[in-house]
Amino acid sequence: MHKSYLIWDLPLRLFHWLLVLTFGLLWLTAELGSEYMQYHMYCGYFMLFLIGFRLVWGFVGTKHAKFINFFPTFKRIKGYLTSDTNKRNSAVGHNPLGAIMVFVMLALLLAQAVSGLFITDDIFTSGPYNGVLEGDWQKLANRTHDIAFTLLQACVALHIVAIVFYKIVKHKDLIRPMLTGKKSSADVEEGAAIKHSKLLIALVVAVIVAVFVYWLVVINAPVIEAYYYY
Ligand code: HEM
Ligand code: HEM
C-alpha cells in the first residue's frame, strides 16, 4: 500500500484552477464583443490579483511553490537533460523544462493583464489607464495585448500536450496531484513532502494583493475626460 505525501499546497492549487477558469472567461468575453467588455475587464482585474498572488507566493509559499526551488538555471537544465530516465522521472515539483514554461506563462499573463489596463476597444470600454500613454507606447500596449494572447494560446496548447504526453507515454498523472495536492510514495520520498499549506500566510498575502489591485484599478486610476460628447 502506497502512502501519499502533500506536494502542492492548497493556495497554489486554487490559484491554478481559478487561473484556468479566468483565462477561459477572458477569452470568451473578448470573443463575445463590446457588450461583454465590461465583464472582460472585471475578469482581467481578477487575473491581476491571481498573478500578483502567485508572484508573492513564489517567495513566501511552500517548498515546491517557491521560485528559488525550481528556477530553471542553466545548471539545473543541463543536469536534468543529462541524467538517466529514472532520475529524470523523479522530479518532485516542476522539472526544469516544465519550470521554463511556468515562468514564460506567468510573464505572458502579467504582460497581457497589465497591457489591458492601458487599452480601449474604441467603443464603450477602456482600461482604467487608457489615455495615459502616448504615441508609440500606446501602440506597444495594444500590440502587447494582441501578441501576448497568441503566444499564450500556443503555450497553453503545449502545456496541455505535455501533460497528456506524461499521462500516455510516461504513465504519470500530473493532473491528480494538481487537484489533491498529493503524490504517491511510489513517486516521491517522504522528505519531499510539505507539512501544511501555510493557509494563514496565504490569506494575508491574498488580502494585501487584493487591496493593491483595488488601489491600482480604482483609487489610483486617473480620471480622463477626453471622451465626453454632448
Ligand atoms: C490575462 C488577462 C487577459 C487576457 C487573456 C485578455 C485577452 C484579450 C483578448 C483575447 C482580446 C481580444 C483581442 C483582439 O480582439 O485583438 C482582448 C481585448 C481587450 N482587452 Fe483583454 N485580456 C486580459 C486582461 C485585460 C485587462 C486587465 C483589461 C483592462 C482592464 C483588458 C481590456 C481589454 C480591452 C479594452 C480589449 C479590447 C481591445 C480592442 O478591441 O482592440 N484585458 N483581451
Ligand atoms: C484544462 C487545462 C489544464 C490542465 C489539465 C492543466 C494542468 C496542469 C498541471 C497538471 C500542472 C502541474 C504541472 C507539473 O506537475 O509540473 C499545471 C501547472 C501550471 N499550469 Fe496548467 N493546466 C491547464 C490549463 C492551464 C492554463 C489555461 C494556464 C494558463 C493560462 C495554465 C497555467 C499553469 C501554470 C502557470 C502552472 C504552474 C503552477 C505554478 O507553479 O504556479 N494551465 N497545470
pLDDT digits (tens, 9 = 90+) for 131-141: 899 999 999 99
**Which ligand 2 atom minimizes the distance to the CA of 95?**
16
- pLDDT score for 187: 87
Count of C-beta atoms within a 10 Å radius of residue 19 = 19
Q: Would the pLDDT of 122 be above 70? A: yes
pLDDT of res. 192: 93
Domain-located, residue 45: yes
Q: What average pLDDT does the chain have?
A: 93
3-state helix, strand, coil in the chain (%, to 5): 65, 5, 30
From the number of C-beta atoms within 10 Å of its C-beta (0-12, 13-18, 19+), residue 177 rates as buried
Higher local confidence (pLDDT), 148 or 122: 148
- The CATH number of the domain where 57 resides is what? 1.20.950
- The interaxial angle of helices 37-60 and 96-116, nearest 10 deg, is 140
**Which pLDDT score, from 0 to 100, does residue 225 have?**
57
Q: Is the CB of 30 under 6 A from ligand 1?
A: yes
| Assigned domain for 225 exists | no
CA end-to-end distance (rounded Å), the chain: 75
| 230: confidence class by pLDDT, cuts 50, 70, 90 | very low
pLDDT in tens, 205-229: 999 999 999 999 999 998 765 555 5
Other CB atoms within a 10 A radius of the CB of residue 172 amount to 15
Residue pLDDT, tens place only, 158-209? 999 999 999 999 999 999 999 999 999 988 999 999 999 999 999 999 999 9
Pocket test for ligand 1, best of 40, 55, 123, 147 (most atoms within 8 A of CB): 40
- Nearest Cα residue to atom 39 of ligand 1: 121
The whole-number pLDDT of residue 227 equals 53
Give the atom of ligand 1 at the shortest distance from the alpha carbon of 130. 35
Domain span at residue 192? 4-219
- Classify residue 224: in a domain, yes or no: no
Q: C-alpha grid cell for residue 198?
A: 501555510
Residue 28 CA neighbour count, 13 Å, CB half: 9
Tell me the per-residue pLDDT of 47-62, one tens digit each, with 9 for 90 and over.
Answer: 999 999 999 999 999 9
Q: Is the dihedral of CA 147, 148, 149, 153 positive or negative?
A: positive
Minimal-distance CA residue to ligand 1 atom 42: 116
* Atom 31 of ligand 1, nearest CA residue: 116
Q: Is residue 183 part of a domain?
A: yes
Which atom of ligand 2 is least distant from the CA of 70? Answer: 40
The count of structural domains within the chain is: 1
Query: Do the Cβ atoms of 40 and 30 come closer than 8 Å?
Result: yes
Q: Which atom of ligand 1 is nearest to the CA of 45?
A: 27
Any domain includes 44: yes
226 inside domain:
no
Q: Is residue 118 part of a domain?
A: yes
Cα 25 to ligand 1 centroid, rounded to whole Å: 11
Q: Residue 49 domain-assigned? A: yes
